[in-house]
Structure 1
Amino acid sequence: MRRPFITLLAANALSVTGTMLCVLAVPWFVLETTGSAGLTGLAAFATTLPVVVSAAFGGTLVDRLGFRRSSVASDLISGVVVLAVPLLAQREGLSYPALLGLLFLRWLAATPGETARKAMLPELAALGGVRIERAAAAYDGIYRGAAMVGAPLAGVLIAWLGTGALLVVDGLTFLLSAFLVAGLPSTTGAARGGRDGYLRGLRAGLAFLWRDRLQLSATAMIVVVNMLDTGVTQVLLALYARDVAAGPRAFGLLAGAVAAGALAGTVAYAAAGDRLPRRLTYGVAFLLAGVPRVLVLALGAPLPVAVAVALASGFAAGAINPILCVLQYDRIPPPLRARVIGAMSAASYAAMPVGGLLAGSLTELAGLGAALAAFTCVYFLVSLPPFVGRVWRELDRRG
């Protein structure tokens, strides 16, 4: 009975791998064709704004269509759109505005699938007799592992075959993910039959989130960190790799090091997390996950040092998502799960479009080192609430 649960993990691994390929291929493609940090930031904006829009309204859509059908449709559309990019570029040429439009559509379609697969997890874990803590850690571990594989693979494919071949692989991963999810039991994530409008569904999710002050505070932290991570991953790392480490392989290696460390951290948390104080674990993990890996880049450290610090920061980050996922599954009623997770995702993603623009603009105005230093300071400030906020004491209350 664990086969559906394992199938879900495999489908999500394929989807996340494709996402990582796209995340690294697009900024490098823009840098190659334009040489502009500003246009690279604008491309990052085009990939993150639709995530916010889709997360805001996609939760209600997922509740209506059902988790399985939403995931399959999302991956099919994403795969076709991604495959269209290299085909159009090869046959007719692809202008920069057209590329932005396709990127917008690809990310608009992808987000509901992520929400749907995450919402399926508790039922499939129960079907397979897997404890929710281990299921959440496994889900996040698969995510981390796929990111770990996808990032270095992207760097190698860019160097060997170019961005066009990388995007073809990206599109195929989404089609395979859709095929796997389509084979799950027909009752998995059946449509809830809700008749709420999209705005009403979004309001219901946000209202639930507003009443839960602990998750509200956690979401606020994620809002800022997602903004910073977008700027670092899609702009600043690419510039560091080009200007300091001299090559796309360094770009993939740095991103992959974070994912590799996070995978190890997730496995460690799955083994020992029940015996650790949640609030202190979460606070320390959040602090170490952001500040050191950006600070070392700001100091102009050589690539081996930067990779080692990225591994350590990734390891610390491994405990963050499993803790948050368990809280969500404990507190959110199943009939509201997709729309509340969607509302939380929309809020978490809200500032992501700003991250790429901010990183590109700061670099243009003050240079790469100053931009990295500014991001380091903000990472530190946003890590403080678990240590000083009273509401965070609830994190240590089990059950």
Structure 2
Amino acid sequence: MRRPFITLMAANALSVTGSMLSILAIPWFVLEITGSAVLTGVASFATTFPIVISAAFGSALVDRLGFRVTSVLSDLASGLIVLAVPALYLTTGLSYPLLLLLLFVRWLAATPGETARKAMLPDLAGIAGVRIERATAAYDGVYRGAAMVGAPLAGVLILWLGPSLLLLVDGVTFLLSALFIAVGVPRVRRQRGESGGYVSDLRAGLTFLRHDRLQLSATAMIVVVNLLDTGVTQVLLVLYARDVAGDPRAFGLLTGVLGAGAVAGTIVYGTAGDRLPMRLTYGLCFLMAGVPRVLVLAVGAPFPAVLAVTAVSGFAAGAINPILGILQYDRIPAPMRARVIGTMTAAAYAGMPVGGLLAGSLTTLTGLDATLLAFTCVYVVISVPPFVCRTWRELDRRQAARM
């Protein structure tokens, strides 16, 4: 019975597409109504900070309410809030403080839904008879594909409809996602662990992660890499396109090639991942996803070579999230799944704002090439644990036990 599993994929594709539409439509909308770059930056903060809060403190509620109910309620709330923005703007008017409040609550409400959909994946994969390796790769592939399609689609729709009407389309995608989950995904009975209250549930999730050395190591790696990736994407690539390539289109090409490579890598891992050595695959892919694409910028390689290396790095990155998903689903008890995943998500997002500040500050002090080399060195260092830390050998034992 694969229909619930396929429905989950479709709902997540709609939700991710809606999020991408928001990410591009909101800055345009704020600029349109305020004309201020500073106020646009404040609005951007109002869309990212609540993700960290919600992932950290809302995950225990996901375990309590259930994955299916949380996903539906989250998407309903997100859709209605997004629809309220253009509705108020086109009718009674929308003040800037009210817009900030709506943006904050919208992203506060959206994050538990994403956590819930990710947490219900192994249950629906089991019902569908899909191996977890292929299920996690399919989930990540749909996520990456929807994000890759959503960005250019948002650009076209902004020109065609304008940012205010695009937000109407955005709201509809979330309502459709809620409908898909409500109608197409059955209730799955899950073993419920003991609960001592909301605060105790949060503490239990943190304690579990702290005591699981393998997952703690993996989370630390992702925190640092997300910090670096944010600095590269939001600052260093922009400076490279302006000062080195001399063409702003270079930024779009590099971003698009990286995303396309990641989608291809996810598809390949979903097909052959269960036959690959997990620890070695993860270590090599983690190393290749970060180091080459930044190093090639630092050494001043010709732009076609930069594009080719970026595509290879994107391809390697395609295996990282599926392997992390397998790691999470194998080691986290089902009753604690959402709160532990939520804690890891909050940690992963927490370092991202620092990445842009760090990249901008280093570039001002040392120059673009030196900053790129410094980032490359950190990428190398953070890629070491799977090769040298004994705790990562548990991945080899896990794979041997399944064969």
Q: Same fold (TM over 0.5)?
A: yes
Equivalent in the alignment of 1:350: 350
Tell me if structure 1 keeps the 8 A contact 2:190–2:335: no
Equivalent in the alignment of 2:279: 279
Counterpart amino acid of residue 118 in structure 1: K
TM-score (ref. length: structure 2): 0.84
Cα offset, 1:369, TM superposition: 6.2
- Worse-matched range after superposition: 183-192 or 327-336: 183-192
Equivalent in the alignment of 1:12: 12
SS of 2:188's partner is coil
CA distance in 2: counterparts of 1:291 and 1:387, whole angstroms: 16
CA distance in 1: counterparts of 2:74 and 2:252, whole angstroms: 26
SS of 1:183's partner is helix
Cα offset, 1:101, TM superposition: 3.6
Cα offset, 1:141, TM superposition: 1.4
Greater relative contact order, per chain length (Cα 8 Å cut-off, separation 6+): 1
Kindly tell me: are residues 270 and 193 of structure 1, through their superposed partners in 2, closer, same or farther at Cα, counting changes over 3 Å? Answer: closer
Counterpart amino acid of residue 142 in structure 2: I
CA distance in 2: counterparts of 1:100 and 1:367, whole angstroms: 35
CA distance in 1: counterparts of 2:116 and 2:278, whole angstroms: 27
Equivalent in the alignment of 1:120: 120
Cα offset, 1:169, TM superposition: 2.9
Counterpart amino acid of residue 316 in structure 2: A
Cα offset, 1:12, TM superposition: 0.6
Kindly tell me: are residues 373 and 30 of structure 1, through their superposed partners in 2, closer, same or farther at Cα, counting changes over 3 Å? Answer: farther
1:108 counterpart = 2:87: no
Gaps of 5+ in 2: none
Equivalent in the alignment of 1:214: 214
Tell me if structure 1 keeps the 8 A contact 2:193–2:335: no
Looking at CA atoms only, which structure, 1 or 2, has the larger radius of gyration?
2
Equivalent in the alignment of 1:22: 22
Counterpart amino acid of residue 23 in structure 1: I
Kindly tell me: are residues 164 and 2 of structure 1, through their superposed partners in 2, closer, same or farther at Cα, counting changes over 3 Å? Answer: same
- Worse-matched range after superposition: 114-123 or 150-159: 150-159
SS of 2:184's partner is coil
Cα offset, 1:23, TM superposition: 3.0
Percent identity between the two aligned chains? 71
- Worse-matched range after superposition: 343-352 or 203-212: 343-352
TM-score (ref. length: structure 1): 0.85
Counterpart amino acid of residue 266 in structure 2: T
Cα offset, 1:311, TM superposition: 2.5
CA distance in 2: counterparts of 1:373 and 1:35, whole angstroms: 31
Cα offset, 1:139, TM superposition: 1.0
Counterpart amino acid of residue 281 in structure 2: T
Query: Structure 1, residues 289-325: CA drift from partner, whole Å, max 9, x if none?
Result: 1233344556677876554443222111111111111
Query: Structure 1, residues 41-82: CA drift from partner, whole Å, max 9, x if none?
Result: 655443332111111122211111111110011112222233
Kindly tell me: are residues 250 and 7 of structure 1, through their superposed partners in 2, closer, same or farther at Cα, counting changes over 3 Å? Answer: farther
SS of 2:154's partner is helix
Counterpart amino acid of residue 110 in structure 1: A
Query: Structure 1, residues 330-361: CA drift from partner, whole Å, max 9, x if none?
Result: 11111111112122222222223333444555
Counterpart amino acid of residue 197 in structure 1: G
Kindly tell me: are residues 58 and 261 of structure 1, through their superposed partners in 2, closer, same or farther at Cα, counting changes over 3 Å? Answer: same
Residues 164-243 of structure 1 mapped to structure 2, 5 A cutoff: 164-188=164-188, 192=192, 195-234=195-234
Cα offset, 1:204, TM superposition: 0.6
- Worse-matched range after superposition: 224-233 or 66-75: 224-233
CA distance in 2: counterparts of 1:293 and 1:34, whole angstroms: 34
Cα offset, 1:274, TM superposition: 2.0
Tell me if structure 2 keeps the 8 A contact 1:50–1:104: yes
CA distance in 2: counterparts of 1:110 and 1:188, whole angstroms: 22
Residues 28-107 of structure 1 mapped to structure 2, 5 A cutoff: 33-35=35-37, 43-88=43-88, 92=93, 95=96, 98-107=98-107
Kindly tell me: are residues 30 and 300 of structure 1, through their superposed partners in 2, closer, same or farther at Cα, counting changes over 3 Å? Answer: farther
1:324 counterpart = 2:324: yes
Gaps of 5+ in 1: none
Tell me the matched-pair count: 395
Cα offset, 1:166, TM superposition: 3.9
Equivalent in the alignment of 1:157: 157
Tell me if structure 2 keeps the 8 A contact 1:285–1:317: yes
1:381 counterpart = 2:381: yes
Cα offset, 1:145, TM superposition: 1.4
CA distance in 2: counterparts of 1:388 and 1:169, whole angstroms: 49
CA distance in 2: counterparts of 1:238 and 1:124, whole angstroms: 41
Counterpart amino acid of residue 57 in structure 2: F
